Chains A and B, each alone.
Chain A
Amino acid sequence: MAEQDWPLWEVFIRSRTGLSHKHVGSLHAADQQMALQNARDLYTRRQEGVSIWVVPSAAIHASDPAERDAYFDPADDKIYRHPTFYDIPDEVEVL
């Protein structure tokens, strides 16, 4: 019987100020402090980031890939949500 792993954490990194955090991978750690330290050592050895978030993997709730179409199709036919849908005469400026 294998020894139980430490909990799994997902790691998000802000690569530069002004950008949002982006998922970069996961790691194991006993608690949140260790998760942060491990994330620093594992994912930012070459100045890849200025800020780290760690989230317990178990806390993430995700959409089901099998229901992708049912979930996202309704946005397909709503072209009026995009600015290009609207005809504005060229003479009108700054619009």
Chain B
Amino acid sequence: MYTQGLDQQGSQDNTEHANADREREAAFQARIDGEEKIEPRDWMPEAYRKTLVRQISQHAHSEIVGMLPEGNWISRAPTLKRKLILMAKVQDEAGHGLYLYSAAETLGTSRADMVDQLLDGRAKYSSIFNYPTLTWADVGAIGWLVDGAAIMNQIPLCRCSYGPYARAMVRVCREESFHQRQGYELMLALCRGNDEQKRMAQDALNRWWWPSLMMFGPSDNESRHTAQSMAWKIKRFSNDELRQKFVDTTVPQAEYLGLEVPDPDLAFDEESGHYRFGAIDWEEFFAVLKGNGPCNRERIEARRSAHEEGRWVRDAARAYARKQAKRAAAQAA
């Protein structure tokens, strides 16, 4: 998930190649309509390739930046068990980032380029990770809500028309369920605890609820590329459909915890069988996306310094590999 319909750039790409390759495009669309998977070396329209590179790399960046808010609590986890769980979860997110970078690379981009784009601010990542993790309860709220929203978005991506992306998503989804369950269990422990712990859980839900709903991206009538992505079967459900599904499954879970969802307009609609919910503050969403969230600068700064401080390791590994190769060649000669 985490792709959030951040596809602001590149809208001309669609028309650029529309005239050429019309026949190939028709054949391509027919394959997609027939639920055939597209593989890296198959012919594909340039706009399809660009859309995928943008979406998959944004998704990868989100997994990588997403390690930071939770990583913040590893050293302060309340028990050894919780610490091990959190480390395993954060390590999974690193893995998700790497699966996704590899999937994007099959489209002809390089990981170094993608990382560069993240570090110099050209690439976007999910706005949710620009919020701070203020208390231990936030670790629970993230697992429950943020990973929960991610799962909702990622399950349909397992059937995405692009083979390597779909296969990466199958692997990711298999791992996400643990993330959500450990988060909910953490919330449950707090909610069964003393008053202060329960207050902490409620406070975390209050702060993470709305940003979680924003994770599904702009409303359908605002989101530009939904129709094309649906036709290409990159996307299977609209942002609003997925958001509704998330609300419908999550509200009863909050009730079970004995927590109150911070939305005075939230009400179950008997007729439709869905929860009606209040208006989302899209101004906040776009502000965070533009770089003005509470932690945008801190996140990118953390990624940049990790990249810089790791440079000598990458260089040393390369030098060592060169030396070994030279030695092996000399021995063979």
Are A and B interaction partners? yes
State how many residues of chain A have any CB contact under 8 Å with chain B. Answer: 21
Contact indicator A31/B113 (Cβ below 8 Å): no
What is the CB-to-nearest-CB distance from B15 to chain A, in angstroms, rounded to a whole number? 26
Q: Which A positions have Cβ atoms within 8 angstroms of B? A: 2-6, 8, 25-28, 30-31, 34, 41-42, 45-46, 62, 64-66
Q: A31 and B321: CB pair below 8 A?
A: yes
Name the one of B91, B98, B112 contacting A4, with C-beta atoms under 8 angstroms: B112
Chain A CB within 8 A of B320 CB: yes
Q: Given that A26-B102, A27-B102, A31-B320 are contacting pairs, would A6 and B314 also be in contact in the complex, using a CB cutoff of 8 Å?
A: yes
Summarize B's interface: helix, strand, loop or mixed.
helix
A3 touches B320 (CB 8 A): no
Q: Is B321 in contact with A65, judged by CB distance below 8 angstroms?
A: no
Chain B: number of interface residues, binned into ranges? 20 to 34
Chain B residue at minimum C-beta to C-beta distance from A34: B317
Q: Restricting to B166-200, which residues have a CB under 8 Å from any CB of A?
A: 167-168, 171, 175
B132-175 vs A, Cβ < 8 Å mask (1 yes, 0 no): 00000000000000000000000000000000000110010001
Q: Besides A2-B110, A27-B102, A65-B42, 8 other CB < 8 A contacts?
A: A2-B116, A3-B112, A8-B105, A25-B168, A28-B111, A30-B317, A31-B321, A66-B43
Across the interface, A2 reaches (CB within 8 A) one of B91, B115, B314, B325, namely B115
Complex: A27 Cα to B92 Cα, angstroms: 15
Give the complex CA separation of A31 and B175 in angstroms: 28
CB neighbours of B311 from chain A (8 A): 3
Report which of A25, A27, A30, A65 forms a contact with B39, defined as CB distance below 8 A.
Answer: A65
Q: Which residues of chain A are within 8 angstroms of B43 by Cβ–Cβ distance?
A: 65-66
The 5 closest A-B pairs by CB, nearest first: A2-B112, A30-B317, A31-B321, A30-B321, A2-B116
- Chain B residues with Cβ under 8 A from A25's Cβ? 99, 102, 167-168, 171
B105 touches A42 (CB 8 A): no
For residue B249, CB closer than 8 A to chain A, the reply is: no
Task: Please measure, in the bound complex, the distance between the C-alpha atom of A56 and the C-alpha atom of B241, giving whole angstroms.
Answer: 42
How near does chain B come to A13, taking the closest CB pair, in angstroms?
Answer: 12
Separation of A26 and B171 alpha carbons in the complex (Å): 13
